[in-house]
Amino acid sequence: MAQNNNTKKDTAWFAGGCFWGVQYYFRNVPGVLSTRVGYMGGTAQHPTYEQVCTGTTGHLETLEVVFDPEKVSYEDLAKLFFEIHDPTQSNGQGPDIGRQYLSAVFYKDEKQKKTIEKLVDILRLHGLDVVTQVREASTFWPAENYHQDYYTKTGGNPYCHFRVKRKWK
Catalytic residues: 18
Residue type at 95 in one-letter notation: P
Q: Is 139 left (phi over 0), alpha (psi -120 to 50) or beta?
A: beta
Half-sphere exposure of 51 (CA within 13 A, CB side): 16
Spatial CA neighbour of 63 closest among 95, 98, 27: 27
